[in-house]
Homo-oligomer: A and B are copies of this chain.
Amino acid sequence: MRKVDLIVKAPHFFTMEGEGVGYKTGVAMVVDGGKIIAIAESELIEREYQAEEVLDLQHHAIFPGFIDAHMHTSLAILRGLAQDTSHWMMYGLQPFSAATTEDAALAGSKLAIIEAIKAGTTTLGDYSFNMDPVCSFIHKLGARGNITCTIREAKSRVYAPGELYEFDPARGEATLQANLELYDKWHNKGDGRIRVLFGPQGADFLSKELLLRVRQLAKERRTKIHMHTQQGDRETYQVVQRYGKRPIAWLQEIGYLDETLIAVHLTDATEEEARIVAESGASMIVCPGSIGIIDGIVPPSKAFQDAGGNVALGSDQAPGNNCHNIINEMKLVALFNKIKYQNPEVLPAWRALRMATIEGARAVGLGDLVGSLEVGKRADFIAIDLQKPTMMPVYTHPMRNIVPNLVYSARGNEVALVAVEGQVIYRDGVILTVDEEEILSAVAEYPDRIGQRATEQFLSINGTNAQFMRENRL
């Protein structure tokens, strides 16, 4: 008998191997040293392996942990403060983001990450400026981080409509150096649980020279560029004014479209532009809930997939989604595309699940590590409790309904267990590796102070939400 760390028993495994969902029953999974070393018939496993720990999940289905590929977790400290308005950033977010401090942002990140873990996310694709403490937290929590540091050359101020962003090369350099420092400190730390990507904020926010330097550095370090791409008409306007071309055409011209690029949003991209990006070998992240709320748009992720590209899902940020729950994003991406094409067969449940797992992992450069339950991969997995009403009843023939129920019915609290690299970090409502109560109660310190600092600007901007407050609609 071979001694191993962990055996996982359950009646249903969705391994995501192959082109579908890789369903297996009558099997058990063996984990050792954080990796999956076998998935085979239960009897065989019991004969050959002796485990330190056995997870006997009798009424559960096992899935790979979900990939949330694009998050701005720090903004969770501003949840629910910026939706239902046009000009989201200027009229919604601005008064509150200007009033946020670094400690408040970190409290927000911890909140968002706990929220995400509880709905089955194991890989956190977080993206912001000050990522060192977030890496520390994810490391301590035992989750997987695919972390991006924002690189930005444009000065942060409110620009008048039609005004070109003003570049500050010193700011560009400083943010690039911060990204490099983060890379040197964290890339591949925690047995490879943390990866660091390069984060030019968008084609409109950096000069061509700095964009090209980032590209060179990312390639030298064999990591990815995670960039907002054609994320809205504001970006399109800036790039057209500056270079005479729409963003994707211009990025193609300067050689930015290739397998190093993870293009986020494509909100303002045509289907043809999406195809150009996909065919370049770049991948895409779509954030259905956030772009739905902020812009009322369904981005062209289907055209991207149809052209052979990998698309991951992202929850983006809590002021403008307003949650971090990939199960919700799976439902939204399926429904939004059915509606966009007025066709109920577009984007079935299993495809949405693939976006949250194997296709998502491939899109963000982690396809060799996670996203499916296969021998040799890291043991990032979750258990879904099939005795929650939303997952009932369970049919196995002539049709299995577990995947449709997960994608279209589950709320998040069906996630009974979350493990990363074979370590259980969440079980039965309790985060096991950090003090959830302490983290959540720390959040309550900030709203009062942020609210006070934001009041003057909130009232002077006098946007939709200020109006709603006056009308007792909030």
Contacts and interface: CB of A to CB of B under 8 A. Distances in A.
Nearest to A113: B389
Interface size bucket, A side? Answer: 35 or more
Contacts of A346: 296
16 contacts: A23-B474, A80-B402, A80-B405, A81-B401, A296-B339, A296-B344, A318-B409, A322-B408, A325-B390, A348-B468, A392-B443, A393-B447, A397-B452, A398-B454, A399-B458, A399-B469
A451 interface: yes
B332 A335 contact: yes
Interface in A376-429: 387, 389-390, 392-405, 408-413
Contacts of A451: 395-399
Interface stretch (A35-43, A84-92, A138-146, A301-309): A84-92
A70 interface: no
B459 A398 contact: yes
Given A115-B390, A399-B81, A86 B405 contact: no
A423 to B, nearest CB: 21
Contact of A455 (B295, B398, B411, B444): B398
A462 to B, nearest CB: 11
B472 A20 contact: yes
Interface string A297-318: 1100000000000000000001
Nearest to A338: B296
Interface string A432-474: 0000000010011011001110110011000011101101111
Contact of A401 (B80, B298, B393, B412): B80
A389 B118 contact: yes
Given A335-B293, A447-B396, A21 B342 contact: no
A340 B297 CA distance: 9
Contacts of A396: 447, 451
Given A84-B348, A392-B440, A398-B458, 8 more contacts: A20-B471, A84-B349, A111-B392, A293-B338, A297-B339, A393-B443, A399-B451, A399-B458
A243 interface: no
A21 B474 contact: yes
Contacts of A21: 472-474
A323 interface: yes
B404 A84 contact: yes
Number of copies of chain A assembled together:
2
A365 B343 CA distance: 34
A348 B473 contact: yes
Contacts of A332: 335
A231 interface: no
A350 interface: yes
Contacts of A400: 469, 474
Contacts of A412: 411, 413
A77 interface: yes
B459 A344 contact: no
A400 B464 CA distance: 13
Contacts of A118: 389
A83 interface: yes
A79 B466 contact: no
A322 B404 contact: yes
Pick the most buried of A332, A344, A409: most chain B CB atoms within 10 A of its CB: A344
A386 to B, nearest CB: 10
Nearest to A472: B20
A472 B111 CA distance: 37
A393 B348 contact: no
Given A408-B293, A409-B322, A455 B84 contact: no
A473 B400 CA distance: 9
The 5 A-B pairs at the shortest CB distance, nearest first, are namely A80-B401, A84-B348, A20-B473, A296-B338, A80-B404
Contact of A395 (B18, B349, B447): B447
B348 A464 contact: yes
A192 interface: no
